[in-house]
Amino acid sequence: MNQLDFTGRHAVITGGATGLGFGIAQRLVASGGSVTLWDRDEAAANQAAEALGDKAFALKVDVSQQPSVAKAVAATLAHAGRIDALVNSAGITGPNVKLWDYPVDDWRQVMEININGVFLCCREVVGQMRKQGYGRIVNIASVAGKEGNPNASAYSASKAAVIGITKSLGKELADTGIRVNCVTPAAVKTAIFDQMTPEHIAFMLSKIPMGRFGTVEEVAAMVGWLCTEDCSFSTGAVFDLSGGRSTY
């Protein structure tokens, strides 16, 4: 594992209790930093923070609710003193059905978490980053946001929106010390697969030229670098993590 330098920095990771969020937290702690895990599952977040050691702190947060996010920002700052990086990893897939059969409530829930959550977390954290004159924001999008997966219209649309908000916010903050980027993984085998049908999983694998799923460690390596000072001249950018499926 290459050594990244996150020494003395503090990151907030949404959806940090499991999956990509937890893997990213592990990489940042291993790189000398500390983390606050934001997750709606309080028990899982506490367990994850305990596993990471004394460099980790956990908070119960509903990223789709502005008061919850604002409260979490205040609690994080009270505990850590600063937020140097924000990784928006919280997300859900929604059901795998045709658009015309898509339950309206499920559509709204996907949008609330996957894109409204990113908006709210960025909105509440950017003020602190602007005050300190430094920050790194990394949004977890998806190759589905570039190409649109069939039977996943809400997920695809929400991740396309994550790409759009990344580009917009990156340009708004380009004249500051804050960098905003996103990554677009193809399928990475985590607990999120439990929300998908076997047919949809097989479809995603069939589209990857490397013939395998990505790993949590591979995503964490790229996200970890995007959280460091070394990521200084990239902003509003989209970094591919698709095993060759998407090359733009």
Q: What is the SS3 string spanning the chain?
A: CCCCCCCCCEEEEECCCCHHHHHHHHHHHHCCCEEEEEECCHHHHHHHHHHHCCCEEEEECCCCCHHHHHHHHHHHHHHHCCCCEEEECCCCCCCCCCHHHCCHHHHHHHHHHHHHHHHHHHHHHHHHHHHHCCEEEEEECCHHHHHCCCCCHHHHHHHHHHHHHHHHHHHHCCCCCEEEEEEEECCECCHHHHHCCHHHHHHHHHCCCCCCCECHHHHHHHHHHHCCCCCCCCCCEEEEECCCCCCC
- Rg of the chain in Å (alpha carbons): 17
Task: Could you please state the CATH topology (level 3) that the domain comprising 10-241 is classified under.
Answer: Rossmann fold (3.40.50)
pLDDT digits (tens, 9 = 90+) for 5-63: 999 999 999 999 999 999 999 999 999 999 999 999 999 999 999 999 999 999 999 99
Catalytic residue among 102, 134, 155, 248: 155
Q: What is the pLDDT, as a whole number, of residue 199?
A: 85
- How many angstroms separate the Cα of 134 from the Cα of each of 36, 232, 233? 18, 11, 13
The backbone torsions φ and ψ at residue 95, rounded to the nearest 5 degrees and listed phi first, read: -70, 155
The CA distance from 117 to 121, in Å, is 6
pLDDT at 192: 67
248 is catalytic: no
Q: pLDDT category, 203, cuts 50, 70, 90?
A: confident
Output the pLDDT for position 33.
98
- Whether 247 shows a pLDDT value over 90: the answer reads no
For residue 112 the two structure tokens come to 């609330």
Give per-residue pLDDT as tens, 122-181: 999 999 999 999 999 999 999 999 999 999 999 999 999 999 999 999 999 999 999 999
The pTM of the full predicted model, rounded to 2 decimals, is 0.95
Per-residue pLDDT reduced to its tens digit, 105-128? 999 999 999 999 999 999 999 999
